[in-house]
Chain A
């Protein structure tokens, strides 16, 4: 055991080292590795941030328990394919928002404006003018409008937070209030029916028996997972959220990255706005009310640290599914939304308590 070189390091020679005369600095053989755990992909659990797998197991168990309860109380009605699709369709809109929220929270921020932005983007994309233009040209005009409005609002959030040094909570709270107001002005407090049929045909369709909305959620989740775990953007997000000062002193453009995080969140709010348009066939300034709280709850229950620096897309997806299934079980059993609220609150508290214990344990070892 004098050599601890794991297999993956056999390729080390082919890797381009940094330029300059000083690399690598040789100080004799690595004598100090005695007793060290062999490094490399043989330690996957640590590579994925320690305890991550354990947390996800907790989420799987929670979801399974909910399903058992659902089946026990609702029987076939709960387990039917129709009902599963209903759950997924419900999960889709919140889910897309939660993916964007995962990035903002992992980056050390918070975005309270996403719910209002769902309303604003749905209204803006369904005004008479937009719909007329969509009729004349292509339904994609509506989609583009929603995404652009969401992204611009996100950029405004980001600039306020990163360059204006406004606390994220306050900046996005202001956007939350303002965006809702703007939506009401544009819609004149009326529901705007969507009658661009090609738009509805596309987004209300099923592919392989699964709603397009669910496919969008799946696509956004997969893209989000890849972005967070496999790209430089994701790495910057972890660094900026984990220790912004260290990131800045390492040469990362922290402010620019912060803006892009809020822009991403705004973009997902735009996508969610389009999905709401399709699901309800209308644009309304009340769309997305309180959704920001559901998204934050899903992200936190999923295991993303509210303090930043650690985020999990898989956890967020589970968080969303847990809350949506909970709602479904309650509806199936004709329980009040008030009881639902109590149950949701309990889940959030229990999840965060568990998270803290896991974090404390992984810190000690």
Chain B
């Protein structure tokens, strides 16, 4: 337990001062959670969680993957029933036995994978499950009018209620999801990593909406991996570790980052980004991309990566950066331009040619593009090399497992169990499986698309260390990330991309975050 100056770690009353935008005066907590325990078979997902949320505050929930955040959210949403513990709502005990009960209590949840139905309209989505109807006939006009009100309240009166949700961008779907929460008259909105799918501009809008909500007395339980966001928007922080509350009521603005990381991981992280080392300037480039163009997406992209070098691509979502990686990799067929590995030109549009030449891609969406979730780890590691462990067509699984085991042990996969299904691994460990795949393959060019998406703070430093080591070992690494500090921290050279064009290319230590942002904004406006 960690105490801080805002009072006891588990406030029982209203003594703690409110955060910057907190509307809580002497009111009691809106929600009080005490000693929640939840088992799944032999696994204790939650093992005594305490939490209290005041009206009008943004309460941030921090914790590594597997700390129990998702389970806690599901308990609050009425999707899981706790095995022990008590939930009080405005001082009265409540039991959240079903999603409907939770909504009626006043708790609405916005899940990370936005749970909107693409084929329905905005209004239909918002009133899904509690349609405005008389005798089974929906009152469309009223639904549209109320939808318009809700959207206006969220600052998005521009979204037409009759628009099909599938046609909205991720940010728009999020607004719809939020409007749905409001349509239930929610007093507490749980937001599970709402910024994960948004770029920085959309995040700013999200924050504005959250501030509007809290100003009107709605409380927000905000889950995010990004500490910078929590600093900006949060009032107080609760940290979960291994299903237990290790600290609660920490002031979001003033608790030092190392302290938060120590609480989450149980160990301290001295330095997030490893020190850069000089790359031999005369080394022949390993990867050469020349005039690469994919019509309508990006054009005339050229860069080279030498052995031991990390090149970062910075840009907003939709700027074409991921597509550039995929085209280099042959997953998309370039309209023009060439890709050379160690001097040999690759056949365009052929993944197998790229893999054979020694390029490996760790895709942005690990779960849907990278892994066989219900297969054991070792088969995921050897997915592009299992042919090597075969005499003729017959596999030698023993050899395959041994090699996979060595590699995951070297990467400190936890647990280093080659038979565990990939689905059960945390984001950071899944990323290690992807890296292990290409290391077993012997790749010398690694393309990493958002290498730390869905990876919690503690494991991030580890992934950064791995990327550093990969470069040290003489590989050429290309990193794409939405987080500019990540690109600048990891890369030796940076390419700034906006609207499919390279706006800037140069050493990473000669440009800072503001300059990158300026370039990106200008580029998008142009």
Contacts and interface: CB of A to CB of B under 8 A. Distances in A.
Interface of A: 4, 8-9, 11-12, 15-28, 30-33, 35-37, 39-40, 43, 46-47, 49-50, 230-235, 238-239, 242-243, 245-253, 309-310, 363-365
B394 A12 contact: no
Given A36-B417, A37-B417, A246-B371, A22 B412 contact: no
Interface string B456-484: 00000000011001100111000000000
B419 A243 contact: no
Interface of B: 40-41, 43, 329, 331, 351-352, 354-356, 358, 361, 363, 368-376, 379, 383-388, 390, 393-395, 398-399, 401-403, 405-407, 409-421, 423, 437, 439-444, 465-466, 469-470, 473-475
A9 B474 contact: no
B406 A12 contact: yes
Nearest to A15: B399
A252 B354 CA distance: 12
Would you call the interface of chain A mostly helix, strand, loop, or mixed? loop
Contact of B442 (A23, A36, A49, A248): A23
Would you call the interface of chain B mostly helix, strand, loop, or mixed? mixed
B461 to A, nearest CB: 13
A238 B437 CA distance: 17
28 contacts: A9-B401, A12-B405, A17-B442, A18-B441, A19-B442, A22-B474, A24-B407, A26-B410, A27-B411, A27-B412, A30-B409, A32-B415, A33-B409, A40-B419, A47-B419, A50-B421, A231-B393, A232-B386, A232-B387, A243-B368, A246-B370, A246-B371, A249-B329, A249-B361, A250-B437, A251-B354, A251-B384, A364-B41
A33 B413 CA distance: 8
Contacts of B475: 21-22
B399 A11 contact: yes
Given A50-B421, A251-B384, A30 B375 contact: no
B403 A22 contact: no
B398 A243 contact: no
Contacts of B399: 11, 15
Contacts of A16: 388
A22 B405 CA distance: 16
B282 to A, nearest CB: 18
In the A-B complex, the 7 residue pairs with the smallest Cβ-Cβ separation, listed nearest first, are A36-B415, A20-B442, A251-B355, A18-B442, A30-B409, A250-B384, A32-B414
Contacts of B41: 364-365
A249 B329 CA distance: 9
Contacts of B386: 232, 235
A18 B465 contact: no
B414 A246 contact: no
Given A22-B443, A246-B368, A252-B352, 11 more contacts: A8-B398, A9-B405, A15-B402, A23-B440, A26-B410, A231-B390, A231-B393, A231-B395, A232-B390, A234-B395, A249-B369
A252 to B, nearest CB: 7
A242 B419 contact: no
Nearest to B402: A12
B454 to A, nearest CB: 16
Contacts of A363: 374, 423
B470 A25 contact: yes
A47 B376 contact: yes
Contacts of B418: 39
A124 to B, nearest CB: 30
A238 B380 CA distance: 11
Contacts of B384: 250-252
Contacts of A47: 376, 419
A39 B417 contact: yes
Contact of A9 (B393, B402, B470): B402
B390 A11 contact: no
A354 B369 CA distance: 29
Nearest to B413: A32
Given A246-B383, A247-B383, A252-B383, A18 B440 contact: yes
Given A36-B416, A248-B351, A250-B355, A22 B442 contact: yes
Contacts of A230: 394-395
A246 B422 CA distance: 13
**Among B412, B415, B423: residue with most chain A CB under 10 A:** B415
Contacts of A365: 40-41, 43
Contact of B416 (A12, A24, A33): A33
B444 A246 contact: no
**Among A18, A32, A234, A364: residue with most chain B CB under 10 A:** A18
A23 B407 contact: yes
B220 to A, nearest CB: 30
Contact of B412 (A12, A30, A246, A251): A30
A359 to B, nearest CB: 9
Contact of A17 (B363, B387, B440): B440
A118 to B, nearest CB: 28
Contacts of B414: 32-33, 36
A78 to B, nearest CB: 40
Contacts of A246: 368-372, 383
A30 B406 CA distance: 9
Contacts of B329: 249
Nearest to B393: A231
B416 A32 contact: yes
B357 to A, nearest CB: 10
A43 B401 CA distance: 13
B174 to A, nearest CB: 25
Contacts of A20: 358, 441-444
B383 A239 contact: yes
Nearest to B396: A15
Contact of A231 (B394, B403, B405): B394
A249 B402 contact: no
A238 B416 contact: no
B416 A309 contact: no
A8 to B, nearest CB: 5
A249 B351 contact: yes
Contact of A39 (B352, B371, B403, B419): B419
Contacts of A18: 385, 388, 403, 439-442
B444 A243 contact: no
